[in-house]
Amino acid sequence: MPLVPALHTPYCGDYDQFSLSSRIRFPRPRTPLLRAVAPEGQRDPGRPHHREEDTPLRLTVDQATLLPALGTVARAVPSRPVRPILSSLLLTARTGSLTLTATDLETAAMTSVPASVEEEGTVALPARYLQEAVRRIPAGPIALSSLTAGAGARILWEKSQSTIHGFAPEEFPPVPTFPDTPERAMPQGLLRRAILHSAFAAAQNDSARALLTGVELRFHNDALFALATDGFQVAAYATQPTLDRPAESGLVVPASVLLEVARTLADSQDSCEIARLGNRLLFRSGPTCLVTRTLEGRYFAVLDMVPKDFPTAVQVERDALSGACERVSLISDNEAPYPITLSVSPTTIRVAARSTDVGEAQEELSAETTGPDITVGFNGRQLLQGLRHFEGRVLRLELSGPSTLARMTDREDHRLQYMQMPLQMEGGQ
């Protein structure tokens, strides 16, 4: 079986300082979260179709309540479904509520809204058409009922009506339900910050190294340690300032799914319940539940490559450093890897960028510095991305050299650590 290649920066030829401390096998091919094959005796529909038997459904729901719920679950509908039924939303009416469900066979989203239900039942309707139809309906009550003949539903409002053809609801893949007893619960605001301050560093669409597209979550009692890397930058967030990476093995969850979880969370102390069913992880906050399959394999030991000591340390105002990086990066923003340099000397830090096509720029900032002078190059876009996730007034930047990870933290709050591998600049800088 092939082995994962060592991580290294593409910015120079013979440079593998950011190699993995251990070789990790490719994860086994993942099985889908849900079955992609229709049960025996049922056909896989080629398009929205009519059927002889009907699942009755009749209810009234408020447009202002239904529309945001549709937006929440519709993001789980695949843009290129492997089966036509996956382009639909499953609507399930039970006493007092309407539940909406969507899935792409790897993830699933469910949410419920209050409704006046006259007849309980289910119907599967094309997600895009339903969402756009509800969006264009004026605010007020909407009456929805399944067709008496054929799969689909009739929508009525004021003196108007619309009919949407759908799918047989029994062809919708089964979706795991949240267990009666959650494994743990966390304040929504705390979990939301942990996700947002780590998931940004995960890789985008790296099919060769699927684990890099995920975020490692390690739980310890009521605390959480989240870690993500794309091979060139690292973000680690602990919900408790004194929490180190727990020794317990972690779960690797796709970063894209976690960002959808974060969108459903409020910045509050209300609980988000978390449960695990085999290799599936479920998040429930209020009426909304998201389900995802965890990524298989052991996460990379990137924190083992962080230097124990940093000879040079800089304390600088966050807004001043962020603003300077924003301005000088205009020079190099069209040339990958978008290089900017940080030069540290007593009492100052200089931010500079140079481009043969555009020109050059530099700014000098007042700073508290310790240790020897040093000049280090960074990917400007990634550095700015990391800076935006800090909230404190003063940042602490620690440097060890042009070939080892640099670390950035808040001077007062160490829950977030952002690290980046320096670039090898021209002239040996």
The DSSP secondary-structure symbol of 423 reads: B
Of 204, 206, 201, 249, residue with least CA distance to 225: 249
Query: Do residues 150 and 105 both lie within one domain?
Result: yes
Q: Which domain holds residue 216?
A: 184-301
Query: Do residues 421 and 366 both lie within one domain?
Result: yes
Of 79, 83, 76, 127, residue with least CA distance to 106: 76
Query: Do residues 152 and 208 both lie within one domain?
Result: no
Query: Do residues 192 and 145 both lie within one domain?
Result: no
Token look-up 């408790």 returns 240
CA triple 331-371-316, angle to 5 deg: 50
The DSSP secondary-structure symbol of 307 reads: -
- Transcribe 369-395 into DSSP letters: EESS-EEEEEEHHHHHHHHTT--SSEE
With beta carbons less than 8 A apart as the criterion, state whether 337 and 395 touch: no
Alpha helices in 14-105 (DSSP H): 63-74
Task: State both tokens at 190.
Answer: 């705390």
Alpha helices in 154-309 (DSSP H): 188-199, 255-264
Q: What is the pLDDT of residue 50?
A: 35
Greatest extent of the chain over all pairs of C-alpha atoms, in Å:
82
Q: Where residue 230 sits, what CATH number does that domain have?
A: 3.10.150.10
Q: What is the pLDDT of residue 39?
A: 41
Query: Do residues 188 and 205 both lie within one domain?
Result: yes
Query: Do residues 317 and 366 both lie within one domain?
Result: yes
Please indicate, yes or no, if residue 284 is contained in any of the structural domains. Answer: yes
CA triple 176-180-184, angle to 5 deg: 95
Distance (Å, whole) CA 265 – CA 257: 13
Q: Hey, CA dihedral for 187, 74, 260, 86, is it positive or negative? A: positive
Please indicate, yes or no, if residue 98 is contained in any of the structural domains. Answer: yes
Q: 24: which residues sit within 8 A by CB, 6+ positions away?
A: 3, 4, 211, 297, 298, 300
Q: What is the pLDDT of residue 89?
A: 97
Q: What is the pLDDT of residue 55?
A: 53
- Number of separate domains in the chain: 3
Compute mean pLDDT per 10 residues along the chain, 429 residues long, and list them: 36 36 36 42 41 66 97 93 95 96 95 96 95 96 88 93 93 92 92 96 85 92 91 92 69 94 91 93 95 90 88 96 94 84 95 89 95 94 94 94 92 92 69
The DSSP secondary-structure symbol of 274 reads: E
Query: Do residues 191 and 288 both lie within one domain?
Result: yes
Q: What is the pLDDT of residue 56?
A: 79
Q: What is the pLDDT of residue 70?
A: 97
Beta bridge pairs of residue 271:
187
